[in-house]
Amino acid sequence: MEGLLTCWDGREIALPDVTEWEFRYGRGTPCDSFLLTCLWEPQGEDPLAEAVTFTAVENGETVFTGVVDECERGWNGQGCFLTVSGRSMAARLLDNEALGMEYQVATWADILRDHVTPYGIQALPGASLPAVPGFVVETGSSEWQVVYEFCRYYGGVTPRFDRLGRLTAAPWPEEKSLRLKENAAITALTLRDQRYGVLSQVLVRDRTTQAVQTVENSGFLQRGGLCRRVLTMPGKSSYQAMRYSGAYQLARSAEELRQLELELPGSFLAWPGELVELVTPKGTANGLWRVAEAVCGLNGKGRYTRLLLGEPDALR
């Protein structure tokens, strides 16, 4: 593992030998993160306080790009130590408050121009998101909330940052990245079915006209689910906005209906959004899953990957 810090003035600092590390990757909410522990010896000038961004490279491949939140170095009875921690580039959008405004019609290009590129963030092409009439940026929202709401709420796509620190709002790929057969070295497996909190129906009501739109999770209803919510929209909300609101609430609640946790020896075995096929001798959890979150690390016991997976159609 190679770690590189970049200072505000462009200077680069190569981190000493990394003894422990952990990278947490998710669906972008709230933020991917990293923590590294390195061998360290104080040597006069200490430029670590000037570090702004961080890059990790494993076997020639960049596995993380983000911002530095904290550097600790010193010594104790066990010797000298250096730890560096931080978050993905999404932190720049999370940490900055958006200026409240209302768009007559907001496009993805408008969102990038006003809420993403001012923070030095590059967006990948390929996003196909609808223009949204009357899109409102609420005062007090973070820039990330603006991006997330526009993509997830109206476009049905979860925005995320790749390992090079670039924003993407394209659908997940549909290719399988990992196939775990009968002899796979799975060190831990937990299958969880969680009905609590999953919504079967959402009633979306216009505050002024009292018009109501109904959105249902038909699959959950057929399985005996019965959990309704009533969502009140601002006055004179459009039919489309009301449907978006209900569908969004249903989709978010369905993400945790069925989850699988796996722990495997080795690091960086799968990434969020990728498909994993599981075939175990006992048949537990066999089938196709999508990675929702991944934790990859190195500690005293060796390398590991912990995966949180969900049903492919529930994770968008």
Q: Please state, in angstroms and rounded to a whole number, the distance separating the CA atoms of residues 211 and 229.
A: 16
Q: Domain count of the chain?
A: 4
**190, 260 Cβ separation under 8 angstroms:** yes
Q: Are residues 249 and 261 in the same domain?
A: no
Domain range holding 211?
A: 201-254
pLDDT tens profile 234-269: 765 665 676 777 777 888 788 888 899 999 999 999
- How high is the pLDDT of residue 84? 96
Q: Please give the C-alpha separations between residue 303 and each of 1, 2, 4, 23, 57, in angstroms, as whole numbers.
A: 12, 15, 21, 12, 15
Query: What does the buried/exposed string (b/e) look like for 249-265 if buried means 16 or more CB atoms within 10 Å of the residue's CB?
Result: bbbbbbbbbbbbebebe
**CATH number, position 286:** 2.40.30.150
Where is the domain boundary, 39, 60, 88?
88
The three-state secondary structure class of 144 is helix
pLDDT tens profile 108-152: 999 999 999 999 999 998 788 999 998 999 899 999 999 999 998
Q: Are residues 47 and 160 in the same domain?
A: no
Q: Are residues 145 and 211 in the same domain?
A: no
**62, 56 Cβ separation under 8 angstroms:** yes
pLDDT of 281 > 80? The answer is no
Tokens 């079915």 identify what position?
193
Q: Are residues 234 and 248 in the same domain?
A: yes
- How high is the pLDDT of residue 238? 62
Q: Are residues 57 and 8 in the same domain?
A: yes
Q: Please state, in angstroms and rounded to a whole number, the distance separating the CA atoms of residues 202 and 157.
A: 20
pLDDT tens profile 149-200: 999 888 888 899 999 999 999 988 787 778 887 677 889 999 998 888 888 8
- The model carries a pTM of 0.87
Q: Are residues 181 and 126 in the same domain?
A: no
pLDDT of 93 > 90? The answer is yes
**CATH number, position 106:** 3.55.50.10
Q: Are residues 184 and 233 in the same domain?
A: no
Percent of the chain residues past pLDDT 90, beyond the cut: 53
Where is the domain boundary, 62, 88, 114?
88
Query: What does the buried/exposed string (b/e) look like for 10-42 if buried means 16 or more CB atoms within 10 Å of the residue's CB?
Result: eeebebeebbebbbbbbbbeebbbbbbbbebee
Tokens 């048949």 identify what position?
283
Q: Are residues 50 and 138 in the same domain?
A: no
- How high is the pLDDT of residue 9? 93
Q: Are residues 278 and 186 in the same domain?
A: yes
Q: Are residues 182 and 310 in the same domain?
A: yes
- How high is the pLDDT of residue 314? 79
pLDDT of 28 > 80? The answer is no
Percent of the chain residues past pLDDT 70, beyond the cut: 96
- How high is the pLDDT of residue 144? 96
**CATH number, position 45:** 2.30.300.10
- How high is the pLDDT of residue 74? 86
Q: Are residues 187 and 300 in the same domain?
A: yes
Q: Are residues 182 and 303 in the same domain?
A: yes
Per the structure block, which two tokens stand in for 161? 């940052």
Helices (H), the chain: 90-94, 108-115, 143-148, 155, 218-222, 239-254
- How high is the pLDDT of residue 235? 62
How many Å from the N-terminal Cα to the C-terminal Cα in the chain?
Answer: 31
- Between 27 and 180, the more confident residue is 180
